[in-house]
Amino acid sequence: MDSIAEQQRQAYEDMERLEQAVVDLMLQKLTKHRYRLIREQKISNLLDQIQARSKLITELNLDESGLRAKEMHMMGTGFDSFYAQLDKVRAHHRRNPELSVQPPELDYIKYTRNPEEADEKRRVLEARLRDTTNVENVEIDDTELETFVSEGDMDKLETMFSGDERFGRYVDLNEQHKLYINLKGTSTISYVEYLNVCTRFGDIPAAAKDNLYAEYLRSLAAYFESYFARSMPLFDLPKAQREADEAFEKEWAERKENEMDVELFCEPCQRTFEKETTYKAHMSSRKHQKTVDRLAKSTCAKSESRVDHAKRIARLEHKVQCYVRALGSKLSDTRANVQRRQALTEDERMHELHDVDEIEYSDDADTAHAYNPLNLPLGWDGKPIPFWLYKLHGLSVTFSCEICGNSVYRGRSAYERHFQEPRHASNMRRLGIPNTRQFHGVASISEALELWARVDAEKKAEDVDNDTFEEYEDAEGNVFSKKTYFDLKRQGLI
């Protein structure tokens, strides 16, 4: 076991090498998004190691066991302890004569190599290997091309993000969208519209902010925290949480409670009422009395006060808004990407998934947000499509479908395609109407119901015609219609 002084020296040396590795990584100019993301994850890991070394040095300096002071005292008495440790080292090497020692700087040299340059060198060497004239003269040494990016890092990155997140470029709030449309006081809106209103908590009435709404807010906050850890490893989440809590406590202290809301809140039932008459009727209802009796019998039941409930909801809302501000333009970029993908065909979407690594980044001004005053949809390269193409596909014309919750579609092709999508078919089934071909193009609920009534009446009329169209003959050769024949047969007349 190394001495305490040696442990401290080794920790200081490791910290210096780790800090130099962080500097080497930060100085590399990378254009591929995956390599940038892996670099941030590596830097975060190196910073955690630096903190671990700092904690070890602090614990050794505190010397709660007293061993460090004893060791320092023995070092000051003479060279006896030094020679005793030297004999132990020599004895260890005599027992292990073939023990190899690897210089520690070799473990950090991979942080100085640029993975994109290494990929280019590997491609050049592989091309030379395919040349039959130079096969004997070229050998690929993987140790010289080893960088901080390993195959395990690339495999881990594949499973870290969902398809809609595109390796941390966008957010994926589809699950939260499903929770939102099932809340009280909200309407059924499309995913694109939800990305616009997901942080407008003031639009939701106070009566609808119940425990289910709190679960929705917790789901949002948990997703953003997970997204920060995966796509923004260097983001200081604990600091952001502390600042958000401090700012909320300051704002809450200055907020005045609305006395009317407090009076119209039923603590046992956890419900808020907008009208006093409704509140009084609820207080005298049988359901309220049963809830009060149940809570009175339960020894562990604790009713949350109106103020505590409102504060809990407000804290979650404030936290989510702080997270959204920290995301910057991620939400707007996600909304633009969803709108762009709606205009793509299935083949174009699959092609885009295969070419996800082809998107590169640069520090030049050309990669800034493209000037888009006409709000044109974005193309496969992330830039607005030409205006002539915008007019050619009719994207300037919008269509809305009342059956799908007044969803808006750009262009005739996207509008006609949505009639065959599961969402429209599900809404048609809720209306009790089959999603057949003859209903394609009908977007109004009243028109769809009217058409279904007419189609149903025609179908029933055809059934009646079939009864009169078929003819039956009795034993005497008399011919009757189907309905008349069976009526006479039941009466025993034929």
Cα separation, 177 vs 186, whole angstroms: 11
Phi, psi of 243 (to 5 degrees): -65, -40
Q: Which residues have C-beta within 8 Å of that of residue 18, sequence separation ≥ 6? A: 46, 49, 50, 53
Judge contact between 183 and 213, C-beta under 8 A: yes
Residue 364 pLDDT: 43
Report which listed range, 42-56, 120-134, 420-434, is most confident.
Answer: 42-56
Q: In this model, does residue 152 exceed pLDDT 60?
A: yes
The span from the CA of 24 to the CA of 42, in Å, is 12
Mean pLDDT of 122-138: 66
Average pLDDT, the chain: 81
Q: Phi, psi at residue 172, to the nearest 5°? A: -125, 100
Structure-token pair, residue 238: 């604990």
Angle between helical axes of 276-283 and 286-297 (0-180°, round to 10) = 60
DSSP element (H, E) containing 331: helix 330-342
What's the confidence (pLDDT) of residue 259? 45
Give the number of C-alpha atoms closer than 13 A to the C-alpha of residue 200, restricted to the C-beta side.
10
Q: Which of 207, 192, 203 is nearest to 265 (CA)?
A: 207
Q: Cα–Cα distance between 323 and 239 in angstroms, integer?
A: 12
Amino acid 22 reads V
Confidence of residue 140 (pLDDT cuts 50, 70, 90): low
In this predicted model, what pLDDT tens digit does every residue of 262-318 receive, in sequence order? 456 776 777 777 777 788 788 888 888 888 877 776 644 444 566 778 888 888 998
Calpha distance 271→285 (Å, rounded): 14
392: part of which helix (H) or strand (E)?
A: helix 387-392
Distance of alpha carbon 471 from its chain centroid, rounded?
Answer: 67
**Sorting pLDDT into bands at 50, 70 and 90, what band is 189?**
confident
Q: Which tens digits make up the pLDDT trace of 355-402?
A: 555 444 544 434 445 667 777 777 767 778 888 888 887 888 889 999
Mean pLDDT, residues 219-223 taken together: 92
Question: Tell me: the pLDDT tens digits for 3-17?
Answer: 788 888 889 999 999
Is residue 244 pLDDT above 60, yes or no? yes
Output the CA–CA distances (angstroms, integers) from residue 381 to 244, 346, 388, in the order listed. Answer: 37, 17, 17
For residue 226, what pLDDT band results from cuts at 50, 70 and 90?
very high
Examine the pLDDT at 145 and tell me if it is beyond 60: yes
> What is residue 394's three-state secondary structure?
coil
Q: Could you read off the pLDDT of 444-484 as tens digits, one per residue?
A: 999 999 999 998 888 877 766 665 667 888 888 888 888 88
Per-residue model confidence (pLDDT) at position 261: 47
Condensed to tens digits (0 to 9), the pLDDT of residues 83-105 reads: 887 888 888 888 888 777 777 77
